[in-house]
Amino acid sequence: MFSRYLREHYSVPAVYRWRVLQVQPGERETVYIGEAEDLIRRIQRVRTPARGSKGGETNRRLKQIFDEKISSGRTVVLDVADFEPFEINGVSFSSNELEDRFKRRALENPVLSFAQAEKQEILNKVVDPVRKAVKALQRLPRSQLREVVAALQQKVGKAG
């Protein structure tokens, strides 16, 4: 599926940006910004998303959006963050250190902020942690839910 060159050079941790190119000048650019432990595997997951897998929802959503854009004559490109090494409060960042998931995520967030400042249409979903927790609790069997509630009540009782 991927050439030898791509596999050799891009099977690496990365911060990346999918971008739907503008057709008209001044049109808002559509972007998805992310980080990956292995960029080639990440691309493959978007191109052929698995059904029902964790994270599959985002992959299926992106594939659908990109397929629609491509079928309407738009071009989708992938940019990979390329930056000079730098340091913040004694913590170094370089492309050689992107195996560290926390560093990748630390770099992903400013890129999202830049896209927002540039008024780009951002495809990333914002996850509400409370809503996510409630959904997870709703999926639990009643017996497990009772155990979780009891444990939370104990913790709240100790903290109060």
Q: What is the pLDDT of residue 80?
A: 95
pLDDT at site 157: 73
In the block, which residue shows the tokens 């390329």?
A: 82
pLDDT tens string 30-58: 999 999 999 999 999 999 988 876 658 89
pLDDT tens-digit readout, 80-120: 999 999 999 999 999 999 999 999 999 999 999 999 999 99
74 pLDDT above the threshold of 80: yes
Span 125-153, pLDDT tens digits:
876 667 777 777 888 888 888 888 888 88
What pTM was computed for the model?
Answer: 0.75
Mean pLDDT rounded to a whole number for the chain: 88
Crossing angle for the helix pair 39-47 and 56-71, to the nearest 10 degrees: 70
